[in-house]
Structure 1
Amino acid sequence: MPKPKSRSFAVIGLGTFGTTVASELARFGNHVLGVDLQERNVSRVADTIAEAVIADGRDEQALREIGVGSYDVAVVAIGEELDANILCTMNVKMLGVPTVLVKAMNRTHHRILSKLGADRVILPEQEIGRHIAQMLHNPLVRDYVSLGNGFHVVDFRVPQSLDGTRMDKIGLSEKFDLRALGLMRGSDYVDCRDAATELRADDKLLLLGRRENLRRFADGL
């Protein structure tokens, strides 16, 4: 499998959220520029990412001088200062950054940023809260990804009650309108397209479907 192409990211605002994003992107092999007005925040990530610069995201000229406009993606992670967040978003858009992601503080802020042309607006606390609530609601769900239009992919832990059950006996498509995308048993892939495949407790089953159907399947076990 070919290695994913690395991209360049400018992360503006190096609080907890911005520092985490910048550090993880760098760990994946991307070129990351970190920008913050506070020297202590810049110093904290200086040894982790490619470049760390003290600059004011509200100052278009300052962002221009450090080359933010040449980056593939800008992540505006400025937290509590609403005016700074909005001005920085406007600046990176005017500098021509192709993709702009912005951290929002509330839904009203979300609407403003969307009007300004942000490609994606993130409400970290709400997104993480929904994620955790889903996993707490049903401990069999290890993780999930929303695909839009009501569809999700769920990493589902097979319970003891399904141990030894054949794939064609659980009625995924007939009863629940779900599709099995894959099955992992430990570190081994098992072909779940074979109707005779038997599930084992603690297998990881990747399921695709609408949220209500996934919940109906999980709640019935």
Structure 2
Amino acid sequence: MSPPPRSFAVIGLGTFGSTVAKELARFGNYVIGIDINERAVSALADLISYAVIADARDEAALREAGVGDCDVALIAIGEDLEANVLSTINAKMVGAETIWAKAINRTHHRILSKLGAERVILPEEEVGLHVAQVLHNPRMRNYLSMGNGFHVVNFLVPEEIGGKRLADLKLKERFRVRSLGVMRGTDFLGSEAENPLLKVEDKLMLLGRRNDLRDFAASL
């Protein structure tokens, strides 16, 4: 069952912001898109709930656009640091329930956190870390940070463990890693309790800290 639709304000409709806005709308959410650039707003006018040309540095403009009634405001403005910071302050002032904001560097990250942004995103850094992890280990198909140092990794089963039962790997005992299950194509084969037989190229979903996951990969 899909979660109920929510309301979002996306402030800044460059590549990052417009992508988020379109995806949120595609999921059935109410999305307000705001940008000072008429062309950026026009490009999304038929794809989201409401697209408006406005200067997010103006608190009254955000209030009039309905940002204060949204569940989440995403500040997606990129290089204009002043506009990014003022938009974050204004979104908070008009009453947006939750604020996410895009940062361009670590100093900017700290500023936005101090201003009350619940989540601060460094898109280039986060994507760079993701790409490096996957390039470093070709068997790692994808990974997701869960916070507190934990990650979920989608790991292709190599020949070294093909033909073994999942429980035979003793993941928790040897590596402090937990298996969330095994996928074969689009079929879910089960978790460690169900102890499926592994085949080469199955996808093994693992939960653990980065160093422990690395130790498991290095053991193969």
Bucket of the pairwise TM-score, normalised by the shorter protein: over 0.9
C-alpha displacement of 1:194? 4.2
Q: How many Å separate the matches in 1 of 2:193 and 2:101?
A: 44
- Kindly indicate whether the alpha-carbon contact (under 8 Å) linking 2:41 and 2:51 is maintained by their aligned counterparts in 1: yes
User: In structure 1, what is the Cα distance between the partners aligned to 2:60 and 2:86?
Assistant: 12
1:193 aligns with 2:192: yes
Q: SS at 1:159's partner residue?
A: coil
> Hey, what does 1:108 align to over in structure 2?
107
**Letter of the 2:44 counterpart:** V
| Native 8 Å contact 1:36 1:54 kept in 2 | yes
- Secondary structure of 2:174's aligned partner: helix
Does residue 79 (structure 1) correspond to residue 68 (structure 2)? The answer is: no
Q: Give the TM-score normalised by structure 1.
A: 0.96
CA distance in 1, matches of 2:74, 2:39: 20
Matched, 1:133 2:132: yes
Runs of 5+ unmatched residues, structure 1: none
Counterpart of 2:117 in structure 1: which amino acid?
Answer: A
Give the letter for the 1:83 counterpart: E
Q: Retained in 1: the 8 A contact 2:167–2:192?
A: no
What's the C-alpha RMSD, in Å, of the aligned pairs? Answer: 1.2
- The secondary structure found in structure 1 opposite 2:160 is helix
CA distance in 1, matches of 2:93, 2:12: 18
Q: Percent identity?
A: 61
Aligned equivalents of 2:54, 2:194: Cα separation in 1: 59
The verdict on how the C-alpha distance between 1:137 and 1:59 changes in structure 2, with shifts beyond 3 A counting, is same
Q: Deviations over 1:79-122 (max 9, x none)?
A: 11111110010000011111100001111111111110001111
Mapped partners of 1:168, 1:115: distance in 2: 46
Aligned-pair CA distance for 1:195: 6.6
Shift of 1:207: 0.6
8 Å CA contact 1:138–1:219 kept in 2: the answer is no
Distance in structure 2 (CA, Å) of the matches to 1:35 and 1:196: 51
Deviation digits for residues 177-200 of structure 1 (CA, Å, limit 9, x no counterpart): 111111111121112324752100
**Aligned pair count?**
220
